[in-house]
Structures are given as structure tokens and as C-alpha cells.
Structure 1
Amino acid sequence: MDGETFNAWRLTALTPLPAWALALLGLAALASIALAWRGLAGEPRRARKAALVALRAVAAALALALLAEPALELLQTARVRNRFAVLVDASRSMAFPLEPGGPSRAAAAGAFLREHRAELERLADRVDLEWYGFGGEVAPADPAQAVRGLEPAAGRTDLLGALEAVTSGAGASSRRLAGALVVSDGADNAALADGLSGATRARLRALGVPVSAVAVGRSAPRDLAVERVAVDDFAFVRNTVTVEATLRARGLEAQDVRVVLRREGAVVAQATVRLEPGKERYSVPLSFAPDQTGTFVFTVAAPVLPGEAVTENNQRSFVLRVIRDRVRVLMVAGRPSWDVRFLRGLLKQDPNVDLVSFFILRTNADQPGPQEDLSLIPFPVAEIFGEQLRTFDAVLFVDFAYGPYRGLEIDRYLPNLRDYVRGGGALAMVGGEQSFGDGRYGQTPLAEVLPVAPLDGTSEAEGEFRPRLTAEGKRHPVTALAPGEAPNEAAWAGLPPVTAVNLTRALPPGAGASVLLEAPAVSVGGRAAPLVAVREVGQGRTLAVATDATWRWGFLAAEGGQGNRAYLRFWNGALRWLVRDPSLGPLQVEPDAPSVEPGAPVGLTVTARGPDWGPAAGKKVSADLVSEDGRTVAHGEAVAGEDGTARIELVPPGPGAYRVVSRAEGVGDPASAAVAVRGAGPEDADAAPRPELLQAVSEATGGAFSALPGGDLPDLALADPEVVEIGRRKALPIWDRWWTLAGLAAVLTAEWVLRRRWGYW
């Protein structure tokens, strides 16, 4: 070996044969040895048997060596210096005091590193020292700044993410990491927030390096915080809702504290909690009954006590949507039918619907009799269509004709029903033999508000008619059976056909009506007959369903394996649209999140639609951020894109509850939402250090642990350095020597001679 040029060697094979060929040759060699052993089974003298088998094995080994062409490879190698990372926590929790009245954790960490910098730099004889600051992300740090104390500004702590980034070669370096030292308070709020699990332990072991840790802080400072708020996503108006708040108290003496629940500044509930020494968490129920619908920001707040380390976490805000408890629906049916049965069953099963229904069993023409016999219970026409009409959110006429019922005088109340719609009510007329033109509504006051023009005196068209979406129907929420235009069309195309269509005519443009679904096989005035149409009338809305066979979309579809989802979605969407569910309005504003971190902007998506429910492309939209006292604190504008949406970002002036009010050009009613700006982010929510977490990380990776105040620099473990081949290499064949062939020949000759002498041929 050339000791001046090469400093390492290894055995290698120069044969051109593939590995599978060498394996077959090896098996053949073993077979030859086995055959030799079997041929000597009758030999009683063990010495002779062993000698012959040994000679066969040596011959096989020499033959394989010649075929493998072994060689000695001389290498010029060098040991590459590995890295050692010092990770210093730069998150906001490091601004808390190390101990009551003491320096900040960041300052204590800097002092510790300054004191032990010489010991760390002595590692430079074995590894390259690298310094990093970490919070939510990791970045190289100036060692001089690190020993003075990094600024605690990061809004998150992701210790495991920082270790993985540094181990994989954060920055320009790709050399192996030999070890790491973490200087932190351990207040992780990412993967290790809930401690070490099986998955996080596996990720720590996968680092492959020992992680030593110095915990900055041993005990939690004095603090009172609203740790958690548990509440449903929505509540019903005028129904009691309970907010479960969790209060956390550390280092506080026995005393009473008052916890309040505010709705955008107004106190709606309060409770008094008695703090006890040694007890850390308290559950505080706060109950109230919301008195109006809408989306609001609520805030649970506890008082700020003297000497608290953190005051920002004494309150926590959340967004709560308050909806009407039940939609009150009046349903009047002319006669029992499949459509009536299915629609009534759907409404009765919906816990959000308060259904009042009347069935007219017969008309006066069927058989003379008193008026009380015309319905299941006496029909209180004056009460229902008079003083009680406005207590209903929607009125449904299902296969109902107002005319045949002498003594009821329903026609006297049709103007009331028309005015009810114009004043903000909702009316749906569903087809059948007594509806639309068959019911002679064309000359009544209801014709002024219906979304189609009934053709008086006409009868239903009978047959099988497949519905077809119009351009407006492809976009309208009433006919949205599936998200996306193509899936929605496919859903409608897969439904069973209807078997009857009431003949009506679409209203002219400008009437505020839209045909959503039509029957192309039925022609009225040269156009496809309307099947489903909607209309905005004054402050109200109307819906026309010109068939009494929508039940087939539920019953027959379910029988065919499709389920009744389409039927349910159609009628639920229709009812929500009729009663002006805020989520189905033409203008929608949606915050990216119900609450944002301190200092973060409020991102908004505004969606605007025109009178035909198509995207309001090119229209100017705006959004205002309104504080609890009614002041507009931020304003933004944008232009809606081709899909009718626009993005707006508003920067709130500080923590609190804010209402978002959005407006769009050409859309009358504004849209509103609510957003909470948290007073405390993840770093401020809990001021307690977590030395036990850092100790667990060190133990899981084979590192050492220490804690401040009072702790020293732990013994820093290092992984073995890599050996990397560089420079030259040289192969010296050792198979093509005369003595190799001579040895093989001598062994084979010896075996042959012995076999002849001992009588084996």
C-alpha cells in the first residue's frame, strides 16, 4: 500500500459477471461439495472423508475467487467536519420574566450563552459551530447578537420543525449535523404543544442526532387567563345558550373574580369565581338568550389583577351565528296527494320548521254540507289570512284552488296575501289539478306577485317530461343540487321525469322573475313551459313549481338507488331562499377566519351576483370594518372578477370585536359578518415555561438537559463524524497471480491422487 498517497483500502471484485451469475456459480460450488460428501457416505474412516471434502471445498473456493476476480482497492479518504447547531428561542414568550422581578427569559438566555461561549467555541476543534434563532421558522443568527439576547418577536414556537430544518441542512450547508443545543422556555405551540406522542417521538428519533437542551425558566409567573371557550357554532334566537369558559389561574391568592360575557360591547352574562390556592383551572358557565338573529362577536373577559405577567390573555373572543329557532310555514293543500304527503313529511321532520297545515277534503260541489266539514279542522280563514298572516315566514299553496269553497270566501283575502308578499313575506304555489290556470289565478291579485303568468282554463299536460336547467337555473341556489355547474346538470339529468306540467307563461323581462327549470317537451307560446320559477317582489319572494310530481325525485330516485338527496336539497334550498336565509343572499362576505392573531389583517372574500343570479363581474364592491362603538375603523374597495368575487384586506387598529359590512354596486342590501381580533396569540396565551418538554426531547434523542436559573451547560453529545471518499483510488488485482492457478491445480491434483489411492473413482 502506498502510505503517502492512500490512507484506506477495501476488497472489491472486478468481474464483469452480474450478481445473479455469481450467485448461481456459488450454488454450483456448494452442490459440488455436497455431492463429494454424499459419495463418501460409506467411508468408515473420518480422516479420509474429511480430507477429501476439505480439498473439494478449497478447490471450489479457489475457482470462485478466480471467477470473481478479487482486487484490493486503495483509497484516498478524508474526514469531513460536521456541524453543531445552537438554536436560541426568539418567540414572544421569551419576553416573560425568568422569575418574578427578574430579567426576561431572552435576557437570561443571552447571559447564559455569553457565560459559556468559550466552552461552545472549543467544539470548533471537532465540528463547525452554527447559530440559529427560531420561532415559527428557523433562520441563521449572529453569534454576537445571540449572546446579547435575541429579540423575542416570533408569534409561534415550533421546536420540532426547527430541529428538522436544521438537521436536513437549513441554509446553504448540506453536511451532516453532529448534534444540537436548544436554549428555550419550551413553550411550544406547534407539533409538541400537547407533549410527546408516538408520532413526534418517531420524528425526534429520525433526526439521528443527540439534542441537548437548556430550559429557560422553571416555574410559571403570576397570571390569570381565559384559557378556552367552548360553544356551539350557532344558537337559536330567544333560546338559552351556555358558553363554557375555562379560567386558568397561577400564582394568585384566594379572591373572587368577576367574569363577563359581552356581545360587541354589551354585557349579556356574568359570573363570579372564587380562586383557591393550589387550584389552577376553573369552569365558568355563562348563559344568555340572544334576542336577535345575525352573526356576532362575543367576548369572555376576566379582570386584570395586580402583578400579572400577561394581560392580553385575560379575554377571549369568538364568533357566534344566531339563527331563528324555527321557520313558521303555513301549508294549504287542496286534496291529499303524493306530492302533498312527501312535502308535508319533509317539513314536519325538519326541526327548524314550525308547520301549520290545512287539507281541504272536498268542495261544496261534491256534496252539500256545512263549511266545517271541508277540512280536517275548521278552517279559520279570517284569522289565518287576516291578523295572523304576518306571523308566518312562508305560505305554501299545494294543488289548491281558492274558488270552489263557498262560505270560506278565501278570495276576499287574496289582496292580503299579495300585500304580505310585497311587504317581505314568501309565497310558493305548487302545481296540481287545482293550481295555476286550473285554479283560475290569472285574474286574481296573486297574479301580480307570482313568478309566472297562469293560463286560466287550461289543464295539466300529462306524460313524462324531463326537466332542463335554464341559464339562470344553473346558477341559482334553489336549483343547486350539487356544487359546480357540470355536476349540477348531471344531477338534474339523472332524476326521474315528472308526469304532469301546469301550463303557465314566463313573465316578460323586467318583472324580476327568472325561470330556473323548464319542460322542453311542453310548448307555451313557442317556448318551453316553465317548471320552476322565482321572483323578487318588493321586499318579498315567490316561487312557482308547475307540477305535482316532485315527489318522484325522492321516492322513485330512492327506489332506483339514487337516494332522496336531490328532493331534499331542492325543497330545503327553495325554503331557505324564500325566507331569505342570509347564506343565500346575492351579496356574501366571508372572512378567511372567524378570528385573527394580533396585528394580522382581516382577509375577506366578497361574492356579488346580479338580478339574474349571474356573477356581478366588473362591479365595485367595498367593505367596512366597524368597531363596537359603531365607528368605521378600516375601509377597502375592489372590483369583482369574472366569477363575481373580490378579495379585500382590512387592517384592524387593535384587538376587539368588529363587524364587517360589505356593499356592492347594483345590489341593494348590504351583507355583514363578524370577526374577532384576539388580544393574545399562541405565544401570549400561556406564560408558563415547559422544562419537562425539553427534558423529554433530550431523553428521546440521547442528549443532556439543564435548566435556568441555576443550571450549567450540559455535556454536549456528538454523533460520530462521517468518512467521505475523496481524491484518488487504485485497484490492485489479486486473482491473476501464478500461485492462485498453481494452488487450484495442486488442490485438484491432490484430491485426484487420494481418491485413486483410497479406491474412489
Structure 2
Amino acid sequence: MTGEVIFDPLVPLLLLWAAAALAALMVGFALWRGLAGWWLRGLAAVAILAALANPSLQTEERTPLSDIVVLVVDESASQRLADRPDQTARAVERVRAEVAALDNTELRIVRFGDGAGDEGTMLMTALSEALAEVPRSRLAGAILLTDGQLHDLDRAPSLPAPLHALLTGQEDDWDRRLLVENAPAFAILGEEVTLTLKIEDQGAVPETMGGTTSVAVSVDGGEPQSYRVPIGEDLDVPVVLDHAGRNVIQFSVAEQPGELTDRNNAAVVQINGVRDRLRVLLVSGEPHPGERTWRNLLKSDSSVDLVHFTILRPPDKHDGVPVSELSLIAFPTRELFLDKIDEFDLIIFDRYKRRGILPAVYFDNVRNYVEKGGALLIAAGPDFAGAESIYRSPLADILPAEPSARVIEQGYRPEITDLGQRHPVTEGLKAEAGGAWGRWFRLIDLVPKRGEVVMSGIDDRPLLVLDRVGEGRVALLGSDHAWLWTRGFEGGGPQLELLRRLAHWMMKEPELEEEALSATAEGQVMTVTRRSLSEEPRSVEIARPDGGTDRLELTETAPGRFTATYQGPEMGLYRLTDGTLDTVIALGPAAPREFEETIASGARLDAPVAATRGGILPLHAGMPDLRTVREGRRAHGRGWLGITPRGAYLTSDVTVMPLAPAWAFLLLAALLSVGAWLREGRR
């Protein structure tokens, strides 16, 4: 119970102050006149003013409230390294015991883990949320149990009590990490791009660990190559991409004895390989309606460099025109087919037949070009079935079908075969075109030798045959009437899209591989896609960053396409395999933000802790005691941390009682006035 005197004036406060001034003036006048009872007159005035002020005695019944100490426990990924979990558990128990030994003090423990995504350690956010549930008048102190590596220092709250930090970790902790400081998102195929790496050691690094170390580099999960690199220096690594699409490049250094973790010993760079330009050589035979169509299709794409070679006048034509007037310059056939053939990405023969212009050695060179990784597309016309067919050349060794010497002149609608429904070149092609296609009126009868028939014509005869030859690819189109689609005959058809897919398939674009395993990521969710011409059930094995594995069953969601989604339990590099194909994908960075800096340090906490006169103490030096200190005093010392008792209470009852009745003040004032009169009268 406590008591205090309060005032509730019976008149406005301004009037009360005016009365007090008037009373002081009158008492001063009495003193100036030399009246002997001036002091009695002053006491009488005080009694009247006290009556007007209405003094009362207020008593309160108070229930003391306990002081609160908040302990924020960091359980992020970096706090699970080495012996930090044990240190944390022991520290929590010690703090619990120390707080229990203090009078009228309770402990509230708040635990938090990794932030969402790759936010890192949100220590100050957790502290702010904990303080939001604690009345500021009861907060005696806050203790952070952490390694000091936080990523939200700008959210530090203001505290009316000391803030302390207990740091986990050991004095001799050290760690090595690999950084990629410069990596482009895109790169031109065949052109060199430079990545900047740095290997950095942190903490109490042993003397034997300096100098150089070995870095393993692997592309798309392939066999790694090892290189010796210096430690602590920027290193420029030249990289040349060899295929289009996503290229996953992983750099890693071996784990060293004694280092805290190997989770930051790897870095993953995903670079999208793009072609600068597609270089195409188009060789046309005698002029026909489809020749202009091929040229227009290729010239309409600004990313295509086209060289068009057309036979306008065969050697056996005798029309008496002087040779000097036939051409301004000789066409560089030798340069195109011998010297610079490897500079082309795609060679197209459009209704071309042997006429003695291109000798057999040129065709033999085209065959070698394909076997070494080139691409060849043949749009066959009636000449392909004749004696002068280019099939009767060294190209026969690489063509997937041979002509039966029969040319069928009959209307038909091209169809996609069952295999073509699963092949990425023709998958969904008819649905995209909106249904039926226009008719063609010529089909070269082909006898397949190998490869995949993805389109058919009359009586299911092969129309489009695809094949892989050595390192290259070949496509054979058994008709020269594709131009009817471009003209829109009977609704036309997807000639442009078909040509685009053919070109990209022959350029080995990953999205058009018929046998491919790929994965895409959105946050921590991975979508796995397996493309296959086979209908067998598919599954993949996923190797997690922590070394564990999971088996994921795939479901056929479209012809030739098997997919499934997988929730990655943590960030890092995942390896996928179905026993035949392999791929890798990174969910978030290979080394999450939690592992960028793993050495315990209180440097980032200096400012918020010093603002409350708190302290930062390492646990490896011993667990400090808890003491109570007065508000405003330094709250830490050697081996101890201080908290400030708040003395908070809850008022349960309030009683207000007048000090004296009003008549008592009036009687006292009257007696003092009479006393003044008597004293002055006797004089």
C-alpha cells in the first residue's frame, strides 16, 4: 500500500493563483505598515487557500509485477555447425537457472530458424517480434544467443533495458569459402566469357593452409577438371560454352581438415548459351515455286546469315549465249564446299540434283561436315528419285532413307506419325496450327534405312525422316510442296514453325532434344521433365546437397513428356539422374547466405548493444553471471551481465480521503485572524 497527497481545487486554478497573489500582497502591506500580527494574517490566508485547493490523501493497493528477461535463441543453419548446438543448449539452461535465482524475474525464450528463401539470419526481426509481446515497463533486459552473423541489422529495435549478446563458436574456428564475383547471365556460343573467382579463408586459419589450393570445375554435372589457384586473390577464369540453353558450371574446393563447413566450398553459375547468328547455306536446283519460299523464310529472320546458291543455267544447256555474258563473277563453290564449309551451321539442298557443277569430292566433304557435327536438310523433289539424284553421291552414306524411284502425284494431307507425336520437332504441331492442314500434291517414295519417321503422307509413306549421323544430324523431307502452306492453300500449315523446329533440333538446342532430362526451379520447388520417345515409366534419383537421395516418380503429362515436381528441403546444388541421363540444378545459391560468413563475431552487434550499455561475451570464455544494476549504469563487466529491475506493478484499488473537512480550514483561518486582531489591539 502507498499513499500520497493530491489536490482537487474547488475553484479554477487561475482563480486560485490570483487569490494567492492577492493574499501575498495584503500580507506584504501589513508587514510594510508594521502590524504585529502580519504573520498570523498570512497563516490565515494559507488556511483559506488550502481549503480552496481541497487536499486529499490518495492510497493505492499495488500488486507487484515480475520483471521480464527475453532470451532470443538463434537456430539458423550457421548455428548448427561444429559444437554450436551443444553450446547453445548449455547456455539456455544456464540463463534459465540464473534468471530463476533472481527475485521477481521471469524468462521468456524465443527461438527462430532460417529466414524465408535466402534471407539469412533475421535476428533483429525475431527480437522485435518478441518485444512486441512484452510491456516495455516490465522489460529488464534482452539476451541474444547467436554467432553474431545477422542480415537484418537495420531492423534493430530501441530498448529501455540492456541488450546483451552471447556468442557461440570457438576461438580457433576457421573456414574457407569460394566466391564467384562476376558471372554473366548470357554468353554467345563459341565466344570466350570471363568469370571471376576468389577463394577466401576466414578466422584462425592454420599456417599450413595458405598459398594455393585445388579447384574442381565441372559443366552440366560432367567429369570435373582440377586446377591450382591462389588463395585470397581474384582469379579470372575463361569459359567457352559449347551448347545452347542453360549451362550449369560448378566450381568447388575440397573440404580441409578443421574447417567449419564445406557448404560454402562450392559455387554454381548458370549461363544461358545463345547463338550469335545462324549461318545457313541454301543450295537450290532449277527454279520452282518453293525456292522463293525457302529464301523468304530464311531471310525474314534477322538472326540468320544466308548464302543462297542457285543453278540458273546448267552446263548442258546450249543457247548460244557467250560465256563472258553469263555471269559477272564466278560463284565460289570451292570456297563454300571445301575451305569454309565448317563455318555454316546448316546446309539445305532444295530440289538439287547432280549436274556436274559440284564434283563428288564436294559431296564427300559435306558428308564429313555432317559426321563432325554439322546439320543437313534435304527438301526432295522429283529429281531426288531420278538417276541424277544426290542420293547417288557420297551423301547416301548419311541419308536416313533412299528413293524407290517412284514419284506420287496425288493430293494428300501431311500427318504426324505416332512417333512424331512424341518427337519435339513435331509434337503438338497440328494442335498449334488449329486442326487440319492444306494438301500437298507430290510425294517422293522413300524407303527408310534408319532414323525416325515423324511425318507421313499417302498410305503412311515416310514424309519427314530425322536421323543422327556421327556428331551431326540429317533431316530428309520427301516433298517439294511445303510452299503450298506458305501460300495459304486450303488453309495452309505451319511451315515456318516446322522449319524453325527443324533448324533448332539440328542445332542441338536442348529444348528440342528427343531424349533429355531437364529441371527448372521456382523458389524451392523444382519441376523435373524427362523427354523420351519411349513409353516406359520414368523415375529420377535426386541427390540432395546434404548427401541424401530421393526417388521421384514421373508422370506422362503429354506424349513423350514425363514431369513431376519436387520440394527441395534446402538451398544448394541438386543432381538428377535416371540411370541414362544426368542433369544438375541449383535451388537458390550453391552456398546460401547463411554460409557466406560462418566465423562467430560480435562486430555487427556493437552498435545496438552499446546503445543500451550492454555487453558482448563469447561462450568459449565461460558463461557469465546475471546481476541487477540500476538504470543508466553500465550493464556488463568481466564475467557478468546486468539487467535493470523495472519495479512494475498493477494497481488493484485506489482510495481518496480529504485531509480535513472544509469547516476545519475555515475555523483555523478565523482563529488566526482573531489572534492577529487581538495582538495588534493590545499593542
* TM tier, smaller: 0.5 to 0.7
Q: Which residue of 2 aligns with 1:117?
A: 99
Determine which structure has greater relative contact order: mean sequence separation of CA pairs < 8 Å that are 6+ residues apart, divided by chain length. 2
Amino acid at match of 1:285: L
1:136 maps onto 2:136 in alignment = no
Q: Which residue of 2 aligns with 1:262?
A: 216
- The offset of 1:370, in angstroms, is 8.2
- The offset of 1:574, in angstroms, is 2.0
SS at match of 2:595: helix
SS at match of 1:580: coil
Larger Rg: 2
Confirm or deny: 8 A CA contact 2:163 2:609 kept in the other structure.
yes
Cα distance change, pair 402–95 in 1 and its aligned pair in 2 (3 A):
closer
Cα distance change, pair 552–546 in 1 and its aligned pair in 2 (3 A):
closer
Amino acid at match of 1:401: Y
Pairing of 1:426-441 with structure 2 (within 5 A): 426-430=375-379, 436-437=381-382, 440=385
Normalising to structure 2: TM-score of the pair?
A: 0.56
Pairing of 1:14-413 with structure 2 (within 5 A): 86-94=71-79, 106=88, 109-110=91-92, 113-114=95-96, 116-118=98-100, 122-124=104-106, 129-136=107-114, 157-159=121-123, 162=126, 181=142, 183-185=144-146, 187=148, 193=151, 195-196=153-154, 213-217=163-167, 225-233=177-185, 239-246=191-198, 248=200, 257-258=211-212, 261-264=215-218, 265-268=224-227, 270-271=229-230, 273=232, 284-290=234-240, 297-299=249-251, 301=253, 310=260, 312=262, 315-319=265-269, 329-334=280-285, 338-345=292-299, 349-350=303-304, 356-364=307-315, 365=317, 367=319, 378-379=330-331, 393-398=345-350, 400-403=351-354, 406-409=355-358
Confirm or deny: 8 A CA contact 2:182 2:197 kept in the other structure.
yes
Confirm or deny: 8 A CA contact 2:68 2:108 kept in the other structure.
yes
SS at match of 1:117: helix
1:478 maps onto 2:421 in alignment = no
Amino acid at match of 1:492: A
- The offset of 1:272, in angstroms, is 6.5
- The offset of 1:376, in angstroms, is 8.3
Confirm or deny: 8 A CA contact 1:224 1:249 kept in the other structure.
yes
1:645 maps onto 2:606 in alignment = no
1:536 maps onto 2:460 in alignment = no
Greater CA drift, 688-697 or 538-547: 688-697
Q: How many residues of Structure 1 are paired with residues of Structure 2 in the alignment?
A: 533
Pairing of 1:557-568 with structure 2 (within 5 A): none
Pairing of 1:457-536 with structure 2 (within 5 A): 475-479=422-426, 491-493=432-434, 501=440, 503-504=442-443, 512-516=451-455, 525=458, 533-536=464-467
Confirm or deny: 8 A CA contact 2:268 2:590 kept in the other structure.
no
Pairing of 1:680-691 with structure 2 (within 5 A): 682-689=593-600, 691=602
Amino acid at match of 1:330: L
Cα distance change, pair 337–704 in 1 and its aligned pair in 2 (3 A):
farther
Amino acid at match of 2:483: D
- The offset of 1:89, in angstroms, is 1.7
Confirm or deny: 8 A CA contact 2:251 2:266 kept in the other structure.
yes
Confirm or deny: 8 A CA contact 1:333 1:340 kept in the other structure.
no
Confirm or deny: 8 A CA contact 1:371 1:407 kept in the other structure.
no
- The offset of 1:577, in angstroms, is 0.8
Cα distance change, pair 103–440 in 1 and its aligned pair in 2 (3 A):
closer
Greater CA drift, 209-218 or 331-340: 209-218
Q: Which residue of 2 aligns with 1:444?
A: 389
Deviation digits for residues 613-666 of structure 1 (CA, Å, limit 9, x no counterpart): xxx444355669799xxxxx9998776533353669999xxx999975544xxx
Confirm or deny: 8 A CA contact 1:330 1:392 kept in the other structure.
yes
- The offset of 1:296, in angstroms, is 6.0
Deviation digits for residues 473-504 of structure 1 (CA, Å, limit 9, x no counterpart): 66543356xxxx6xx76642399x88x94622
Q: Which residue of 2 aligns with 1:707?
A: 616
Confirm or deny: 8 A CA contact 1:704 1:714 kept in the other structure.
no
Confirm or deny: 8 A CA contact 2:385 2:406 kept in the other structure.
yes
Which runs of 5 or more structure 1 residues have no equivalent in the other structure?
A: 1-77, 139-153, 274-281, 519-523, 558-565, 597-601, 611-615, 628-632, 664-669, 724-761
- The offset of 1:297, in angstroms, is 4.4
Q: Which residue of 2 aligns with 1:576?
A: 504
Amino acid at match of 1:395: I
Cα distance change, pair 380–267 in 1 and its aligned pair in 2 (3 A):
same
SS at match of 2:357: coil
Which runs of 5 or more structure 2 residues have no equivalent in the other structure?
A: 1-62, 219-223, 619-635, 653-683
Amino acid at match of 1:241: V
Inter-partner Cα distance in structure 2 for 1:211 and 1:467: 82
Deviation digits for residues 153-211 of structure 1 (CA, Å, limit 9, x no counterpart): x9963446756887999xxxx9999879452336566xxx3643xxx68xx89xxx999
Inter-partner Cα distance in structure 1 for 2:613 and 2:326: 89
Amino acid at match of 2:515: L
Confirm or deny: 8 A CA contact 2:64 2:647 kept in the other structure.
no
Greater CA drift, 376-385 or 241-250: 376-385
Q: Which residue of 2 aligns with 1:548?
A: 483
Amino acid at match of 1:342: N
Inter-partner Cα distance in structure 2 for 1:680 and 1:660: 19
SS at match of 2:184: coil
Amino acid at match of 1:541: V
Inter-partner Cα distance in structure 1 for 2:446 and 2:67: 81
Cα distance change, pair 585–491 in 1 and its aligned pair in 2 (3 A):
closer
Confirm or deny: 8 A CA contact 1:212 1:714 kept in the other structure.
yes
Cα distance change, pair 535–570 in 1 and its aligned pair in 2 (3 A):
closer
SS at match of 2:425: helix
Q: Pairwise CA RMSD of aligned residues?
A: 6.5
Inter-partner Cα distance in structure 2 for 1:660 and 1:491: 31
Deviation digits for residues 217-248 of structure 1 (CA, Å, limit 9, x no counterpart): 49997655334443235656664332112455
Inter-partner Cα distance in structure 1 for 2:386 and 2:507: 23
Confirm or deny: 8 A CA contact 1:212 1:716 kept in the other structure.
no
Cα distance change, pair 657–238 in 1 and its aligned pair in 2 (3 A):
farther
Normalising to structure 1: TM-score of the pair?
A: 0.51
- The offset of 1:337, in angstroms, is 5.7
Confirm or deny: 8 A CA contact 1:636 1:648 kept in the other structure.
no
Inter-partner Cα distance in structure 1 for 2:353 and 2:253: 58
Confirm or deny: 8 A CA contact 2:401 2:447 kept in the other structure.
no
- The offset of 1:88, in angstroms, is 1.4
Confirm or deny: 8 A CA contact 2:530 2:562 kept in the other structure.
yes
Inter-partner Cα distance in structure 1 for 2:64 and 2:484: 84
Confirm or deny: 8 A CA contact 1:634 1:650 kept in the other structure.
no
Cα distance change, pair 707–288 in 1 and its aligned pair in 2 (3 A):
same
SS at match of 1:477: coil
Confirm or deny: 8 A CA contact 1:238 1:289 kept in the other structure.
no
SS at match of 2:555: coil
Confirm or deny: 8 A CA contact 1:317 1:656 kept in the other structure.
no
Cα distance change, pair 413–155 in 1 and its aligned pair in 2 (3 A):
closer
Cα distance change, pair 95–272 in 1 and its aligned pair in 2 (3 A):
closer
Inter-partner Cα distance in structure 2 for 1:108 and 1:299: 38
Inter-partner Cα distance in structure 1 for 2:200 and 2:390: 64
Amino acid at match of 1:577: W
Confirm or deny: 8 A CA contact 2:539 2:552 kept in the other structure.
yes
